[in-house]
Structure 1
Amino acid sequence: MKKRFYLLTIFLLLLLSACGTSPSSSEESKGNTSLSTLEKAKKEGSITIGFANEKPFAYQDENGKLTGEAVEVARAVLKNLGINEMKGVLTEFGSLIPGLNAKRFDMITAGMYITPERCEEVIFANPEYTLGAALGVKANNPLNLKSYEDIKSNPNAKVGVMAGAIEHNYLKDSGIPEKQISIVPDIPSAISALLSGRVDAVTMTGPSLEAMLESANSKEIVRVKDFEQPIINGNPIQGYGASAFRKEDTEFRDAFNAELQKLKESGELLKIIEPFGFTENELPGETTADELCK
C-alpha cells in the first residue's frame, strides 16, 4: 500500500508540474505566431524586401549594397519605425507580387506603379514619385520612332518592354499588336535585344532608361529626346510608384504612410530621391494610393 501511495503521489506531482508549464509554453508559442508583420519587424529590427535589380529604383551597387530610389525611401521610413536592417530578395519584376503573397519577403520596394489591377492583389503605400514613359533606340534612330504611334504605324518596328512593367499595358492600350512587342526580363536583356537588332526600341520610365544607358556605356544607344507621351483614354499617361504590402498588412502600410508623409512635408523626400535622377517635377504631390486604385 505504501508503495502504491508513493507512486500515486509522484504521478500527481508530475501531472501538476506538466499542467503548470504547458500554458506558459503554449502562450509563448501563441504570442510568437500572433505578431503582425510590423510588430515582428520591430521586434527583430529587420525586414526582408523584394526588389528587381532595376536602376534607379532598387539594385545592388558595385559594393553589393542594396540601394536605389525606392530602397532609400523605404530605408528612411523603416528607420523611423525602428527597423534598421533591410534584407533583399532579388526577384524578376513580374514575380514580385506572387513572391510577396507567398511570403518570400514582407514588402516590395521596386518603384512599382500603382494600378487598379495590382491593387486587387496587394495594398500600396502612398506614392513617392511620379513618372511618364521614355523610349530608347539605336543612335540616329533608324526608324525615326518618336512615339508609340510611330511604332504602331510601322508594322516592321518591334519594341522591347520588361516583363510585368506598366509600359506593356501602355503599348497594348495604344493599339500596338503583340507581334510587335518583345518581353525582356531585365535591363541587360533590353540592352542586348536593342544592340542585336531583335528590337528597334525599348520603353521604360525615364530614370530606368537613363540607368540603362549608363549601364550600356555605349554610344550606339540613345534616348529619344522629343518622345511624345502616349495618350490613353484621352489623357497623357503618368505613373505613380510606391512600396507594396500584403493585403492583411494594413497596420504596416498605415505606419509607413505616416512616416512617408513626414518626409514629404519636411522636404527630405526630394533629398533622398534626387541622387537617382529625380527632380521636384517627379514629386507625387498629394495624390494617394486610394485614388490611383480606383
Structure 2
Amino acid sequence: MKQWWSVMILVPMLLLAACGQQSGDNKDEVSSAEETASANDTLSKLKEKGYVTVGFANENPYAYKTADGELTGEAVEIARTVLKRLGIEEVRGELTEFSSLIAGLQAKRFDLITAGMFINPDRCEAVLFANPEYSIGEGLAVKSENPLKLTSYKAIADNSKAKVAVMAGAIEIGYLQASGVTDKQMVIVPDQDAAISALQSGRADAMTMTGPALQSRLDSAKDSKLERVMEFEQPVVDGKSVRGYGATAFRMEDTSFQKAFNAELEKMKQSGELLTILQKFGFTEQELPGDATAEELCGG
C-alpha cells in the first residue's frame, strides 16, 4: 500500500520536474531568438525607413559635401552601393568633427561612420569595423622648394622650430609622437581646409594626412607656393609600417548588419567594382586592401 502511494506521489513530481526543465529549455530558446532579433534590428529598421544616416568629417576624398551640397567620397559611394543592395535606398549625412565620430555613433546620432576611418586596436574596442575598403600611406606637404628640408616625421622632430598641421583626432598624431615630434610642434586643426590655411599663413611649416587626402587638398587649393614631398619616408612605429586600412564602422551590437555589409563588399572586390569606385577619387590598385580583414587588423 505504501508503495502504491509512493508511486502516486512520485509521478506528478517527475512530471512537474520535466515540465520545469522543458520550460527552462524554451526560455533559453526564446532568449537566443530575442538576441538574434536584436542583432538584426538596426538593419531591419533602416530597411523600413528607407534611409541611413552616416557620420562624416568632410574629409576629401573619403567623405565630403560638394559645393552644391551633394554627399560623396570613396567611403560614401562604397557604402551607398552596398546599402542599396541591402535594401536601403537613401544615404543622409551628419557632419561631425573627426575626433567626435565614434562618440556620435555610440550616441546614435547616426547609424554608420563613413569617413575612411583607419582600423586600429584602440578603435576596435569602441566600434565594430567592416572589412577594409582601401589601404594607404601618409603624405606631407610643405612650402615650395621645401625650405626646411622636411622629408619625414623624424626630420620634423629633429628641427625643434618646425611645426606641422594635423587634424584633431587623426591617427597621424600618434605617428608624429612615435617619431619624436613634440606636442608644441603640432598645430592641431579641426579639418583639412584649416590645415591648408595653417600652411599657407605660416602657422605651420608642413601639413600631414593620408596620401590621397593630401593630394586632393593640394589639387583643390591650386596654390603654386605649396608642394607635396614626393620623397617622403613613410613612418615606422614599433618596427612596423604604418600603412593604414580604412573601413566603415558600426556600433558594437550591429554584428548582423556588419556581416551583411561585408558580404556585399567582398562581391565588389571580386568583381572589380571596388577599384572602379576608388579610382574616381584618386586611388589606384596600390590602395586596394588585398585580403586584410578587420579581425586581423584589430589584433584578433
TM-score, normalized by the shorter chain, greater than 0.5? yes
> Deviation above 2 Å: which 4+ runs of structure 1?
none
The 5 Å alignment of 1:90-109 reads: 90-109=95-114
Partner in structure 1 of residue 76 of structure 2: 71
TM-score by length of 2: 0.86
Partner in structure 1 of residue 238 of structure 2: 233
Match of 1:84 among 76, 82, 89: 89
Partner in structure 2 of residue 123 of structure 1: 128
Q: In angstroms, what is the RMSD of aligned CA positions?
A: 1.2
Match of 1:161 among 158, 162, 166: 166
Shift of 1:130: 0.2
Amino acid at match of 1:107: L
Partner in structure 2 of residue 14 of structure 1: none
- The DSSP-based 3-state class of the residue aligned with 1:47 is strand
The 5 Å alignment of 1:175-254 reads: 175-254=180-259
Partner in structure 2 of residue 16 of structure 1: none
Shift of 1:36: 1.1
Give 5+ residue unaligned stretches, structure 2: 1-36
Shift of 1:215: 2.4
Percent identical residues: 61
Shift of 1:192: 1.0
CA deviation profile, 1:217-261 (whole Å, cap 9, x unmatched): 211111001101111111221000000000111111111000000
- Of 212-221 and 97-106, more deviation after overlay is shown by 212-221
Shift of 1:54: 0.5
Shift of 1:63: 2.1
Partner in structure 2 of residue 62 of structure 1: 67
Q: How many residues align?
A: 262
Shift of 1:278: 0.5
Distance 1:93 1:79 in 2: 25
Distance 1:192 1:65 in 2: 24
Matched, 1:110 2:115: yes
- The DSSP-based 3-state class of the residue aligned with 2:115 is strand
- The DSSP-based 3-state class of the residue aligned with 2:88 is coil
Distance 1:121 1:182 in 2: 27
TM-score by length of 1: 0.87
Amino acid at match of 2:94: V
